[in-house]
Amino acid sequence: MAARRRAAVAGAAGLVLLAFAGIGAGTLVPIDPGATQLAERLRPPAAGHRFGQDSLGRDVAARVLHGARISLAVGSATVVISLVVGAFLGALAGYRGGWIDEALTRLIDVLLAFPGLLLAIALAAVLGPSVGNVVVALSALGWTGYARLARAEVASLRRREFVEAAEGLGGGTFRILARHLLPLAAPALVVQATFGMAGAIVAEASLSFLGLGAPAPLPSWGAMIEEGRPFLLVAPHLTIFPGLALAATVLCLQLLGDGLCDLLDVRRRVD
Amino acid sequence: MRLVARRLVLLVPTLLGVATLVFGFLHLLPGDPAEIMLGESAAPADVAALRRDLGLDRPLAAQYTRFIAGALRGDLGRSIAFQAPVTHVIVARYPATLELAAAAFVLAVALALPLGIAGAMRPGSSLDRAARLVTLAGACVPSFWLGPMLIFVFSMELGWFPVSGRGGLAHLVLPAVTLGLAMTGVLVRLTRTSLLAALGDGYVRTARAKGVGEWRVVSVHALRNALLPVTTVAGLQVGALLAGAIITETIFAWPGIGRLVVQAIDARDYLLVQGCVLAIGLTYVAVNTLTDLLQRAIDPRLRDGG
């Protein structure tokens, strides 16, 4: 348990560092991530260009740091939208039951009949490559996990005395959900959101890798890995650094999620 | 038998829902599919002709009926990029994806079960640490990074495996590892947790008290129960394998349906994209149904509950 807690603190610290690195990218590496220097293309890591230069001579370190902004922004936006929509719909279905519950369950069943990434790829392909469309494509499916969890949590609580007391005092559906039920479902939802953010960040990078995410020349980690692929033999640094940044970010979120799971005592429910 | 029939009947609304979603994806999103497929510079007459061909000039209900009726007959339209019926193009590519997914599945199960079991039997041992490492790597290393890295080390530097393409067993190794790592991580973790929980149960204590050997306690008593959730999750992970194949096949130029999706998107061949999404969705539903039935067959408690 203590080891898990230490790992969670390390994960949280890593995320804070990453966020600061993304925000302060311009100060940490004062080079324009879009500035090309064709004469210095594919140069390996050296003083002045710590992570080397890419196929257009752009600084890889600057692009990796600016890439953190895209990853964190897409991950956060997707999680917030999915969480708000999913928690609200799931809680409403769990509390009211009846046709609302039936309709939501059927809708989720159909959406989950597709592998998540496939639907996101199909949606992103039709909507066109842009950061906003990536968030839309990932949220279109992302809310289902939160809805299922919120529904199960609320359904297990709705016959409890404090809910009946609130109803007896004339509390409406939304007040009871917002004031009494959702706060109790919050710990499980927070843990799910932590893992969900890791999933959203990898999914964004996957879409960008396939050319369906952030459009060029935006420095998304997925797109950088794809751009570096043809030069693996001569310039492996183009692929290694954005991949390491991505893996480290996901690792931090996994450690944090695992630690929160124990800290908030919700492992059984989230698993 | 009645259970199988009931499960198959329940499949009908799910399949209809899947087909409806796939239909909606092309028809209800902003923009004109004919215009998107032909590009901005297309002549209005060509766009109008394609609209007629696709039936986009008809009312939505008529389009929907036509789509469902066509799907039931196996007619998903004609691929612009391949100049062939969509169904034919998909059927030609499907075996390659099944081969890759099967290899990744076998690899994941073959690695995950021994590691998970060893981790649960000896918590804190070096094998347990290896199990945790695989779990963490599976969760943190994305396939689109792992694939190129494996190519760099094992194909370019060491020359052990081919860089890309489909052929013999050597061609299969790197793509299968790339596709299977995430699933391996999930299964290692689940096998370990599930077996650890089972080993703490009363019937295991009883078996030990009766003097049953440790290996027999694990293999005959605990493992049978511990593997039930692993079977379910392994079945559900097949969906992740099918989606992951899109990326893995792109990296290794593997001629399957995953690469076909990307090619179809690049060519704006939306009927083909629609067909591929439908095919993968149907496979996923079929695998989930099979997993469900298999689980009921091996777990008598579920059979009793119907």
Contact residues on chain A for B242, CB-CB shorter than 8 A:
115, 118
Residues 6 or more apart in contact with residue A47 via CB below 8 angstroms: none
Give the model confidence (pLDDT) of A186-213 as tens digits: 999 999 999 999 999 999 999 999 999 9
Give the model confidence (pLDDT) of A88-132 as tens digits: 999 999 998 889 998 998 888 888 877 888 888 888 888 888 999
CB crowding B183-219: b at 16 or more within 10 Å, else e:
bbbbbbbbbbbbbbebbeeeebeebeeeeeeeeebbe
Is B6 part of a structural domain of the chain? no
Mean pLDDT of A156-177: 87
DSSP B177-222: HHHHHHHHHHHHHHHHHHHHHHHTSHHHHHHHHTT--HHHIIIIII
Both B147 and B207 in one domain: the answer is yes
CB A213 within 8 A of CB A202: no
The confidence score (pLDDT) of residue B214 equals 83
The pTM of the full predicted model, rounded to 2 decimals, is: 0.89
Question: Could B281 and A212 be called an inter-chain contact, meaning their C-beta atoms sit closer than 8 Å?
Answer: no
CB crowding B236-266: b at 16 or more within 10 Å, else e:
bbbbbbbbbbbbbbbbbebbbbbbbbbbbbe
Number of domains in chain B: 2
Is A207 part of a structural domain of the chain? yes
Residues 6 or more apart in contact with residue B60 via CB below 8 angstroms: B27
Question: Could B148 and A125 be called an inter-chain contact, meaning their C-beta atoms sit closer than 8 Å?
Answer: no
Question: Could A232 and B251 be called an inter-chain contact, meaning their C-beta atoms sit closer than 8 Å?
Answer: no
Both B111 and B243 in one domain: the answer is yes
**Chain A interface, best mutation among B35, B140, B249, B269, by max A CB count within 10 A:** B140
Is B8 part of a structural domain of the chain? no
**Any A CB within 8 A of B25 CB:** yes
Question: Could A115 and B273 be called an inter-chain contact, meaning their C-beta atoms sit closer than 8 Å?
Answer: no
User: What's the Cα-to-Cα distance from B107 to each of A243, B163, B185, B193, B198, rounded to whole Å?
Assistant: 24, 20, 12, 20, 25
B256 to chain A, closest Cα gap in Å? 15
Contacting B residues, span 175-194, partner chain A, CB-CB under 8 Å: none
The confidence score (pLDDT) of residue B306 equals 43
Mean pLDDT of A171-182: 88
Residue B19: which domain range?
A: 15-73
Question: Could B25 and A127 be called an inter-chain contact, meaning their C-beta atoms sit closer than 8 Å?
Answer: no
Both B37 and B168 in one domain: the answer is no
Contact residues on chain A for B244, CB-CB shorter than 8 A:
117
CB B226 within 8 A of CB B191: yes
Is A246 part of a structural domain of the chain? yes
Give the model confidence (pLDDT) of A44-83 as tens digits: 999 888 999 999 999 999 999 999 999 999 999 999 999 9
Contact residues on chain A for B145, CB-CB shorter than 8 A:
225, 239, 242-243, 246-247
Both B67 and B170 in one domain: the answer is no
Residue A98: which domain range?
A: 2-26+53-270
Cis ω on the peptide bond leading into residue A187 (within 30° of 0)? no
Both B244 and B157 in one domain: the answer is yes
Both B165 and B211 in one domain: the answer is yes
Q: Which two tokens stand for residue A192?
A: 């799910």
Is B82 part of a structural domain of the chain? no
**Any A CB within 8 A of B154 CB:** no
Is A104 part of a structural domain of the chain? yes
Is B83 part of a structural domain of the chain? no
Both B180 and B54 in one domain: the answer is no
- Map residue A236 onto helix, strand or coil: coil
A22 — phi, psi (to 5°)? -65, -45
Both B215 and B146 in one domain: the answer is yes
Is A108 part of a structural domain of the chain? yes
Nearest beta carbon to residue B242 from set A115, A205, A246 = A115
Is B61 part of a structural domain of the chain? yes
The confidence score (pLDDT) of residue A239 equals 95
Is A68 part of a structural domain of the chain? yes
For residue A107, the chain B residue with the least C-alpha distance is B17
DSSP A133-173: HHHHHHHHHHHHHHHHHHHHHHHHHTTSHHHHHHHHTT--H
Is B170 part of a structural domain of the chain? yes
User: What's the Cα-to-Cα distance from A54 to each of A60, B239, B241, rounded to whole Å?
Assistant: 6, 35, 32
Is A69 part of a structural domain of the chain? yes
Give the model confidence (pLDDT) of A27-49 as tens digits: 998 899 989 999 989 999 998 88
> Domain holding A131: CATH number?
1.10.3720.10
Question: Could B145 and A247 be called an inter-chain contact, meaning their C-beta atoms sit closer than 8 Å?
Answer: yes
Nearest beta carbon to residue B243 from set A116, A233, A250 = A116
Number of domains in chain A: 1
B30: exposed, middle or buried (Cβ count in 10 Å: 0-12, 13-18, 19+) = exposed
**Any B CB within 8 A of A225 CB:** yes
The confidence score (pLDDT) of residue A270 equals 64
> Domain holding B251: CATH number?
1.10.3720.10
**Any A CB within 8 A of B287 CB:** no
Is B81 part of a structural domain of the chain? no
The confidence score (pLDDT) of residue B304 equals 57
Give the model confidence (pLDDT) of A208-264 as tens digits: 999 999 888 899 999 999 999 999 989 999 999 999 999 999 999 999 998 888 888
Contact residues on chain B for A240, CB-CB shorter than 8 A:
149
Give me the tens of pLDDT residue by residue for chain B, a chain 306 residues long. Answer: 677 788 788 788 888 888 898 888 777 666 777 877 777 788 888 888 888 888 888 888 998 999 899 999 999 988 988 999 999 999 999 999 999 999 999 999 999 999 999 999 888 889 899 988 898 899 899 999 999 999 999 999 999 999 999 988 999 999 999 999 999 999 999 999 899 888 888 888 898 888 888 888 888 888 888 888 888 888 888 888 988 999 999 999 999 999 999 999 888 888 898 899 999 988 888 888 888 888 877 777 766 544
Is B217 part of a structural domain of the chain? yes
- DSSP letter (8 states) at residue A39: G
Is A193 part of a structural domain of the chain? yes
